Each structure stands twice: as C-alpha cells, then as structure tokens.
Structure 1
Amino acid sequence: MIAFVVGVVPAVLVGQWIAGRALEPVDRMITEVREITDGRSLHRRLVVPMERDELGRLAATLNQMMTRLERSFAALRRFTADASHELKTPLTVVRAGVERAITRPDLPQETLASLEETLQEVNRMTELLEALLTLARADEGRADLHKEAVDIREIIEEAGETGELLAEHAGVAIEIHLPPEPVVVPVDRSRIRQLALNLIENAVKYTPRGGQVSVELGSHDGRVVFSVADTGIGIAPGDLPHVFDRFWRADSARTRTSERAGTGLGLAICKWIAEAHGGTIEVQSRPGRGTTFTVGLPRSEH
C-alpha cells in the first residue's frame, strides 16, 4: 500500500505540472483575447508562436477575425459620423422653417399644436445627431478635450441652476451641497458641465413629483467626487450593468408620463467624458429607494 502511494503521488504531481505547463500558452491567449475584445483594443493582435502547431494556427485565425472586426467597426463609425454630419443641415433647415411658421398670427390652434410637436421632434433628432457625432469622434480619438484649471464648484453650480428650473417645473426639490473652499481641477469646462447637467436632468426626469434630487461635491482618496442622487423608483438590478450602454433606455414606467423619451446616449456620453478625464463613473440603485451616480476625477494630470 505504501509503495502504491509513494508511486502514485509523484506521478500525479508530475502530471499536474506537465498539464499546467502545456496549458500556459492557452491561458495567456485567453487573457489576451479578453483584453482585446473590450471594444477599444481591436487594433491589437495575438502573438503567433513560432511553432505552426494548433495554437499557432488558432492565434493566426483569431488575428484574421479581429482584423475583419476592426475594419467593420471602423466602417460603422465612419458611417455614423458621416450620416450624422450630413443630416445636420437638412434638420437645421426644417427647424428654421417650422420656427418661422409658428410665428404666424393666423394659424389655427390645431395647426399650431402640430407644428410645436414637430419642432419638439426636430430638436430631439438634432440632440440625437449631436450625441452620435460626439461618440463617433470619441471612438476615433478626435474628440479633443480643452483642459484648464477650473474651480469645479462653478461648473456644478451652473448645472445646478439649470437643474433647479427643471426641478421646479417637475415638482421636484433639488439641493446642491458645495464645499466652502475652491476645488481646482484640470478639466474641459464644457464637457464636465455637460456631464453634470446630464446626470441632474436624468435625476429630475426619473423622480416623481414631490421627490428630491441631491447634488454633492467633495473629495475621497485624493480624488474630486461629485454625486447626483434621487428618490425615484430606482433601477432594476438586471438593468444596472446596461445603464451606460448606447441606446439603452430605462423602462418607460420609471419616467413621468409627460416626459418625452431621451436619446439613450446621455449616460454613454457621461461615461466617455469621465473616462477621458482619467476618472470614473458608477451607479448604485435600489428599487423603490432611488439612484445615485458618482463621478470621481483626478486632481491633477497623470
């Protein structure tokens, strides 16, 4: 019995060691593929082993597939950018015509209502095209940031003032908490304002009348942190992983019936703005309790 154990245990250990060594290239390949398929690294390729064995052929095949994917995604981004750009001019012409028609004093009420509804949809389409252009430029690395040292309290306060107007109209209370001392951060003022305003608008939109939105600026672990919290009905746990996906929209039951649907791109743009500044954006939500978006930004350039 002892001889059997003495003989088997080393054999098992040696077998495990050999299997581990044999599977190391496979593990490395799996890790590389995961890193490449994050959607932003399709330009990278797997290292093809010198030996033209099964692993070498697999790596070469995967590289060919990723080349085709990279070309397809590049073509899709170009189409999105070109189509959005080409549609801007016709929409501008349509909007100008509708705005001019609305000013006529002899319009029947029914016609006026139809024109106003048309203008709303034209504005929504314009907003969608601007968002598509922003994301297309970001994907191609052409969405430059114009950073400057800014007291970010000013940006949050500006966005908060706009949010207060929206909140008042929606019957929602809004509170803004800013620190007494300046919070100077190198950021693109217009982009950070866009991010803050998007989050505040979302919070107001998804908070029922009588609810509350809280905007807070502070710091944590050497980073500037600002959060937007609401007392809305929250987001279902199954939806949380998708809130930053493009064209994702919450269940219509979360919004007030009077609210028009958004473009489904606002939070995707927020995520891009935060990450382009070397920051992060996170969401926490509990159904029936509300939702909190938290943005963290570095205090200095990396």
Structure 2
Amino acid sequence: MLPFGVGVALLMGLWIARRALAAVDMIITEVREITDGRSLHRRLAEPMEKDEIGRLIETLNQMMTRLERSFAALRRFTADASHELKTPLTVLRAGVERAITTPNLPQDTLATLEETLQVIQRMTELVDALLTLARADEGIAPLHREPVDLREIVEELRETGELLAEESGIRMEVATAPEPMVVSVDATRIRQLILNLLTNAVKYTPTGGMVRMQLGAANGRITLSVADTGIGIAPGDLPHIFDRFWRADSARTRTGERPGAGLGLAICKWIAEAHGGHIDVVSRPGRGTTFTVSIPRDAASADS
C-alpha cells in the first residue's frame, strides 16, 4: 500500500504544481500583453480564492494602478510644460529676429544672434514634438482627414529632399506608381512623417551615397519607403529605434551633424498607427537602412 500511496501523493503534487505554474504562466502572458501594448488601464482578472496566486494578482493590479497614475501625471506635466514653453520661445524668437535686422551690427554680434536663432528653432521643434506626443497619448491629437493623392505630397517633398541631399553631396531618387493613390489622410501629418524620414536618411548617409523614396500600392495598402545607403543601424539598436528620446551612437551621423532629440521616429510611428497603418525598419550595418510605411488604401478601414 505504501508505494501506491506514494504514487498517488506524487501525482497529486504534480497536478497541483502544474496548476500553479499554469496560473503563473497565464499571469506572465497577460502582464506582457498589458505592458507591451502600453495598456496600463487593463487589469488582471482576480480569482475568487485569496490564495498565493490571488494575492499575487491583487498586488500586480495595485502596482499597475500606481504605474498608470504615474504615467498619466508625467504625460500631463509634459503637455503643460511644452505648452508653457511655446509662448516665451515665440517672444524670444521675435526679439532675436528683430535684433538681426539692426543696421551696422558687428559681425561677431550678428553671428551670435544667428546661432541663438538656430538654438531657439531647435528648442521650438523639440517643444512641438513633445506637445504632439503628449496630445497623442491623451487621445486629443485628432487627424484632419481629407482625400489626398499621396503622389502629390511625394512630389511636393521631392524638391525639399533633393535640396537636403545636394547640400550633403548625396544623390536623391524618387519613384511613384503611375496610377492615382487617393486616400483619406491628414496631409499635414503625412508630410511631417515623410520629411522626418527623408531628413534622417540624409543625416545618416555619407557623402556620395544615395537616398531613394518610393511610393506604391499592393494588397489594398499604400506603401511608402525611404531607403538610404548609409552606415545602417546595429541589430541591438533596432528594437529601440522608435522609442522616445532614444538615439543610437552619435558616431552614426556624418561629421558635423548635430544629433536629434530622439523624437522624430516616435512621431512617425504615431502618425502611421493613427492612420491604421504601421512603420517597419530593415537595416544592415555598413549597407544602409529602409523605413517602410504602410497604410490602408480604404479610408474606412483606418481608425479616425
């Protein structure tokens, strides 16, 4: 009887252990889904039993509540601070621009004022980016959609891209499909997305390289790609490329280039997803990088 009893006890122990481990595995899966999707408003379903698993779930829910409140407070601070900074920056810019027009300024004074104006411009762009992302987080950054032929936007930005490329000694190519590509989008945001990608491509491509922008359609979606023959992105950096304030090694930029604030690609990601699409990146160190944006061609399939 003893061996039989030991066997039964062993089986019961295994069953209990598997049940407990299955519950823990389920908790891990759900927590990952919540954190990966930044859905901190979600909570784990609490079981009726107040055993160890139940107390663990209760503790995790309490922790996520505190995290949600902390992130909400941080978003409010970012939005408020960005908003409050816009007015003094505007006033400061106007004052410097007026001072620059003063007749007979000494050359060193003029150079200082021009450099100050550039700093103000960079600060203004940073504040605008922070405010955009803060509003997006709060769901108060609506898209102003209208039917637009994306070929027209690409052609509008061709000249800008060619100027950027020419200044850096880089060749620029643009290819678009012959048929119209009309889709309901926020044209201003799409321009911002494309310009961010073009600016990045030029910044990280050495003199003599090439940047290629291509617009096409397939399987009910419109795709825009911006590819460069730059120095590429290290595999370890790729998972973070769309994170806010994240920047790869500054050595990636061309000599003399000032690294950005690390918000441009985060904004690109938001714009793509706000149109019901997504943005992907493929890169090979030493060979170049390609960013591809894909959005639904049918406006009804995109979340407005």
Cα RMSD of the aligned pairs, angstroms, is: 2.2
Q: Is the 8 A contact 1:211 1:231 kept in 2?
A: yes
Distance 1:120 1:48 in 2: 55
Secondary structure of the 2:213 match is strand
Distance 2:12 2:54 in 1: 26
Q: Give 1:180 shift.
A: 0.5
1:165 aligned to which of 157, 163, 168: 163
Match of 1:206 in 2: 204
2:100 aligned to which of 99, 102, 112: 102
Q: Is the 8 A contact 1:234 1:291 kept in 2?
A: yes
Q: Give 1:196 shift.
A: 0.7
Q: Is the 8 A contact 1:216 1:227 kept in 2?
A: yes
Distance 1:27 1:253 in 2: 42
Unpaired segments of 5 or more residues in structure 2?
A: none
Secondary structure of the 1:49 match is coil
Q: For 1:107-146, list aligned pairs within 5 A.
A: 107-146=105-144
Match of 2:174 in 1: 176
Distance 2:26 2:18 in 1: 12
Q: Give 1:156 shift.
A: 1.7
One-letter amino acid matched to 2:152? E
TM-score normalised per structure 2: 0.92
Q: Which moved more, 1:26-35 or 1:124-133?
A: 26-35
Distance 1:22 1:74 in 2: 34
Deviations 1:78-101 (A, max 9, x none): 000000000111111111111111
- In the alignment, structure 1 residue 149 sits paired with structure 2 residue 144: no
Match of 2:249 in 1: 251
Match of 1:68 in 2: 66
Secondary structure of the 1:180 match is coil
Match of 1:291 in 2: 289
Secondary structure of the 1:257 match is coil
One-letter amino acid matched to 2:88? P
Count of aligned pairs? 298
Match of 1:47 in 2: 45
One-letter amino acid matched to 2:48? M
One-letter amino acid matched to 2:126? L
One-letter amino acid matched to 1:276? A
Distance 1:112 1:70 in 2: 49
Q: For 1:267-278, list aligned pairs within 5 A.
A: 267-278=265-276
Q: For 1:178-193, list aligned pairs within 5 A.
A: 178-193=176-191
Q: Give 1:216 shift.
A: 0.5
Secondary structure of the 1:174 match is strand
Identity over the aligned pairs, expressed in percent?
A: 75
Distance 1:196 1:17 in 2: 56
Secondary structure of the 1:37 match is helix
One-letter amino acid matched to 1:226? L
1:215 aligned to which of 213, 225, 236: 213
- In the alignment, structure 1 residue 229 sits paired with structure 2 residue 227: yes
